Structure 1
Amino acid sequence: MAKRTRIIEGMWDCSSCGTKGILARHKKCPHCNNPRELTGQESEFDFGDTDAATGKSLREGVTDEKALELANAGADWFCAYCGASNRGDQEICKNCRAERGTDAKALQEEADPGLPPEQPAPAAPKKRGALFKVGMVLGGLLVFCCGSSIVYGIWSSMTHETTGQVVSTDWKRTVYQERFTPVTLEGWADELHAQSSRMPVNGAGEVAGVQNIRGCVPRQRTTRKVADGTERVCSTKHRKTACGTEEKCHTRNKGNGFKEEVCEDVTKYCDESYEDCRNETHYRDEPVYAPKCTYDSYQWKEVTHREASGGDGEPPRWPDLSVSPEDRLRREEKYTLHIAYDGGKKNTTFEPKTEQEYLGWKKGQQVSLTVSNGGEVKQIVPR
């Protein structure tokens, strides 16, 4: 798009006599004839207001040829010997006729700060890219949370050694009398295979069997997902779209009381709402049926049981329980050590697996413990 350039002239105030609004083309005050550099205003110019939306100056542009020549002469410089202000295209000081040297102070051309930036065109919509960015943000949060959890997990799993004492021991033994008893059960037809039952001898050698399969009726065995129609779901979204052009301007301070303003028409973007619609398939659970049957079989069932318990040096023993030849005995045993550690402030238990292992521990015995920072007892060994 075509660029439009114009020169804006600044104004300065004389601090010697108070005259205001002196055009920058005048190097001396038209009233008191004092040079601008002696008033302390050599680089302070008022260029008027600008339009907040476009950055365009509200002041008229310069058309006077002499003023335009002065504006294009370059940044002003100040003589190192007498301090007089000179045009940028002059190499000899107009006041003391000294040559311009490297030590002469000079103003600089520079872009004005604070102007509204040109509005960039919106990036082409990329759904995957947007999702990727959201994913990156969520992923970062997840990594932070997971990282904290990992650090805590590592710390809590670290172990230290401490000492303790067995404060008590106990044991419990149970004997169950069980009998091979006829039962009626249910099962899926494809999993049932007829088999004769066999009774146990001295509590062993039994076969439960599958007999008299009957009453097979369809029952719901499981479910499966099936499509149940579709629904159009819409949501309102927003995007940037081109909606004409707008004027944008930027200026450059020429360092001599003038500014160069460049304006051009750029694409304008507006917010647009639109409906994003998609078809969503709905599913329902559909039952899957299969024949389920009743059949006869046998199971071991408890008739009675007896318990015995003790501790702190008393040897473990089994309770007495007599059974008939067709019955069987089932035994369970449990051994427990109660341990205090960290000066009695904390307690834990340890369960030996066998009677022999249990008998290797005594009340009052000193132990060494390996404990994690999270409080989990990893190992207990006698001292």
Structure 2
Amino acid sequence: MDTMNALVWKGNGVLSLERRPVPELKDPRDAIVRVTRSTICTSDLHIRNGAVPRANPGVVLGHEFVGVVEAVGSGVANLQPGDRVAACCETFCGDCWFCRRGYVNNCVHGGWELGCRIDGCQAELVRVPFADTGLTPIPDGLSDEDALFVGDILASGYWGAELCQFQPGDTAVVLGLGPVGLCAAQCAALLGAAHVIGVEPDPWRRQLALEQGLAEAAFAPDDPALAERVAALTDGRGADGVIECAGGKDTFQTAWQLARPNGTVALVAMYEEDQVLPLPAMYGKNLVFQTGGVDASRGPELVELLARGKLRTGFLITHRGPLSEILEGYRVFEAHEGHCLKWVVTPG
């Protein structure tokens, strides 16, 4: 096979499913992976909409996937052809100043590359640079779909919860109960929050969070009594940690307003517009802000937590379709048609 199907961002809001050359190894630390499952992410929509300046027109989109290793470079010692792997959404060398401190999003040799600056996973095959750090083997007890969200959606939620450094008895507020927010709610409880409150405009998503046990309360953001409701559940203080996963026009303002004095606001969302830091209105709250993007270096830990049943992600999958129908997947995903949370792209 010399060519393969791939979804290409042409620039100017245009996506095209077309034939592209099959990727080849270029570096000793590369791997070629046959994609068995991938997904569509809101970040892909940001690229299509021109909101990601580092993205290269002509790139194959996609950065969240699992697959089977087809070939590895001579510098990859921890993987071999036939291994099932989950991919990290970020490319990182593991050895630069930032990587050694866990700040893999700022790797001087990588960062968000796949599906942004170099060809990504919404294709039949993908070349993965620094495969020895960016690919995590999937144990036999987990299916491909069980591990699909390890490298991005689950990693982002886990990272946002980590940033808040929850203590026993703390209350978390999660803004936006989309895929990242639902994972953040789950991870906040895993990492110590005793109470999790969701804020989400979609009634179906609010109900899902409650039914799945991911939040004990869920409110609409336009509820005029929202701040009072959160205060009533936190002895009048406000949230100890707020994880902002929505990225809406006013959700940043809601995030800091719901946080208690000396609380933490973790900004996981990607914004398409500048946000205003109203320092006079904030004065005296002494807030700590932690900002994105995700340092998605927890692949092995997340795979282990999934294998042990401490985390689960099956509730995220609402739609599936073959690569040949991915443009329809984009339409459904963007419109939230049929309560779409994640469209899983299957081979074909």
What is the TM-score when the length of structure 1 is the normalising length?
A: 0.18
- Choose between structure 1 and 2: higher strand proportion: 1
* Structure of greater relative contact order (alpha carbons < 8 Å, 6+ residues apart): 1
- Choose between structure 1 and 2: higher helix proportion: 2
What is the TM-score when the length of structure 2 is the normalising length?
A: 0.20
Q: Flag the structure with larger Rg.
A: 1
